[in-house]
Chains A and B, each alone.
Chain A
Amino acid sequence: MPTSLSIWVERVSALFLKEIKSELRTRYAFNSLLMFSVVTLTAVSFSVGQFTLSVQVKSALYWLILFFASMAGLAQVFIKEEEAKTSYLLKLASPPAIIYLGKFLYNWVLLLALQVIIIPLFVIFLNLELVNLALFLTVSFLGSLALSAATTIIGAIVSKANVKGALFAVLSFPLLIPVLVAGIEGAQLATSGAKFSEAWGQISLLLSFSVVMLTVSIILFEFVWSE
């Protein structure tokens, strides 16, 4: 007898897998993310040339690229439903919370997939030294969790508004400042070889931010989603 939690997990996974499938077939979002990151990275590397960037600058660059890539690539998650008019199909199928969770997981996985590609590129092009690799990956992992938690509901808000392009970035940026600060600091610590215990503040901030954002988003999502 399946528990209601396992049914929920199945329902959310169904939506999540569909997002992945759609994305693999159309590649809209991931292409935006990747293109933006690669172009920025190569442009910086090229213009910096022989000059060595400090650890602070590299960490900041890493998070800036993640942030702006998210602005470019994650905005469409709900807009494409509105434009294709498939939101009725989703509304008919399930309560708002499941829709939100499926989309949130999809955004997170997109960011993780992006990081798999750009972290090696950073190492190659900008000589990023991952002295404490585990810490760096943890910070990136949690940071993308936090980024996704905040941007998913903003994406839903923007999908209902008129001028969609710049609005997403304008709304997301103030909310993401704590994430950027903690992420940059965490990345700095990791590339300077600090131990996990030193980065505990940043890690706990990213984690608690994600939990709070997710909770609040799930509660508020239906006000955005319903007409």
Chain B
Amino acid sequence: MLWKILLFVVMTLIIIFANLWPPPQEKLGEVSRIFYFHVPVAWVSVVAFLVAMINSVQYLRTKNLQYDTNSAISSRIGLLFAFLATVTGSLFAKAAWGSYWNWDPRETSLFVLLLIYGAYLALRSAVPEESKKAALSAVYSILAFVTVPFLVFVVPRVFKSLHPTDSIVDKSMKIQMSGQVSSLFFPSLAAFTVLFFWMYHLEQKVEMKSKKEA
């Protein structure tokens, strides 16, 4: 219970401080503040995918349907976060570069992630029988995960990136953020991750309860 209150407090502080405290990023202006929300949310959508995939592997190994339920829950939450990341990114793009969508590599990867989640959920709804649904969606989630490395290599070479990477990560791949920025960014990252796992846990309880009543 205590950690929930703590989470609430931390997130509130982040929202307030993100908008007031660190000076805005040089090239982009006030709009850059969305970075404290957009990046964690995008990060969580990828984490959700990883969680779904791990559960899929576990299902295929043990045939325990709980793993399949976990995978589905994680994918649904992941879809939500991916959608939020796309919306926040799109708003930022409009404000900073003038158009909502540009097919830059990060945008494209996020788009593909949305497609994968959508396809996964479409597959689940097309198979009525439980164990078949679990097996087929587990296989698909692993297949999708396997193509992700290729995406990471392919997509950046296609279009020149509009994404502001050089402001955070310099050539030697070290994270370069000022003290103010990082003291806000990392807690935000952590807070959103905790939020994800809390939602995940809640969904698990809801599923178990509805199974008991069925």
Which residues does A use to contact B, with CB under 8 Å?
150, 153-154, 157, 160-163, 167, 170-171, 173-175, 177-178, 181-182, 185, 201, 205, 208-209, 212-213, 216-217, 220, 223-224, 227
Q: Is the CB of A181 within 8 A of B127?
A: no
What are the residues of chain A within 8 A of B158 when measuring CB–CB? 181, 185
Residue of A178, A209, A216, A224 with highest tally of chain B CB at under 10 A? A178
CA–CA, A157 and B155, complex, Å:
27
Q: Which of A170, A181, A182 contacts B118 (CB 8 A)?
A: A170
Say which size band chain B's interface belongs to: 20 to 34
* 14 A/B residue pairs, CB under 8 Å, sorted by A: A161-B123, A170-B119, A171-B119, A175-B144, A178-B150, A178-B153, A178-B154, A205-B150, A212-B146, A212-B150, A223-B135, A223-B139, A224-B136, A224-B139
- B91 CB to nearest A CB, Å: 24
Q: Which of A162, A171, A177, A182 contacts B140 (CB 8 A)?
A: A171
- B61 CB to nearest A CB, Å: 10
Q: Is the CB of B116 within 8 A of A174?
A: yes
What are the residues of chain A within 8 A of B60 when measuring CB–CB? 220, 223
What are the residues of chain A within 8 A of B115 when measuring CB–CB? 173-174
What are the residues of chain B within 8 A of A205 when measuring CB–CB? 150, 153-154
CA–CA, A201 and B115, complex, Å:
25
**Secondary structure call for the A interface:** helix
What are the residues of chain B within 8 A of A185 when measuring CB–CB? 158
User: Is B126 in the interface zone, CB < 8 Å from A?
Assistant: yes
**Secondary structure call for the B interface:** helix
Q: Is the CB of A177 within 8 A of B139?
A: no
Q: Is the CB of A167 within 8 A of B123?
A: yes
Q: Is the CB of A220 within 8 A of B123?
A: no
Q: Given A153-B139, A224-B135, A224-B139, are A161 and B155 also a contact pair (CB < 8 Å)?
A: no
Q: Given A157-B140, A213-B146, are A162 and B128 also a contact pair (CB < 8 Å)?
A: yes
Q: Is the CB of A177 within 8 A of B132?
A: no
CA–CA, A28 and B128, complex, Å:
28
CA–CA, A167 and B136, complex, Å:
13
- B2 CB to nearest A CB, Å: 41
What are the residues of chain A within 8 A of B147 when measuring CB–CB? 150, 174-175, 177-178, 209, 213
